């Protein structure tokens, strides 16, 4: 009778040890997947901010009575508002081809993983918008 109780306790201790081992193996994998999902979401947001900033800056620069410098400054302000400190890593350049204005942005996004801080992801955006050319008195 004494041995039956002891065997049951030994079986329970083994089951608890097995559960602990399974958790120790699965938890790092789940944490890595969670961090990867967070990194993807941050990158997706940053890429959208860059794309929309150059689009809006190009639209502003192409408007009548606006300059290329105003469009570039507007794009940089949007990057600063949307990306914070990361906006310093992104450069915006513009060109005026006469009938169209083009804004281009390039930069890098650092990863959130602490042990791979040297790794960064590319950010890029380009937008080309035709200039407004309203001429009073002409009918088409």
- The tokens for 136 are 């009073």
Buried residues in 22-59 as b, exposed as e (16+ CB within 10 A): eeeeeeeeeeeeeeeeeeeebbeebbebbbbbbbbbbb
**Ranges under pLDDT 70 in the chain:** 1-11, 114, 116-117, 134-140
State both tokens at 120: 């960064």
Phi and psi dihedrals of 97, rounded to 5? -100, 20
Residue 14: what pLDDT? Answer: 76
Radius of gyration, CA atoms only, the chain: 28
Q: What CA–CA distance (Å, rounded) separates 137 from 140?
A: 10
Please state the domain extents for the chain. 2-130
pLDDT given at position 58: 96
Q: Is the pTM of this model over 0.95?
A: no
């Amino acid at each position: 009778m004494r041995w039956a109780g002891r065997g049951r306790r030994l079986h329970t201790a083994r089951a608890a040890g097995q559960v602990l081992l399974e958790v120790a193996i699965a938890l790092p994998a789940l944490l890595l997947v969670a961090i990867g999902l967070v990194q993807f979401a941050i990158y997706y947001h940053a890429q959208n901010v860059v794309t929309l900033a150059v689009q809006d800056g190009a639209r502003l620069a192409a408007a009548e009575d606006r300059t290329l410098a105003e469009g570039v400054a507007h794009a940089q302000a949007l990057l600063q508002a949307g990306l914070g400190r990361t906006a310093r890593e992104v450069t915006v350049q513009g060109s005026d081809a006469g009938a169209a204005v083009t804004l281009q942005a390039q930069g890098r996004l650092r990863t959130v993983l602490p042990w791979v801080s040297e790794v960064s992801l590319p950010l890029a955006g380009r937008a080309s918008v035709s200039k407004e050319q309203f001429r009073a008195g002409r009918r088409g």
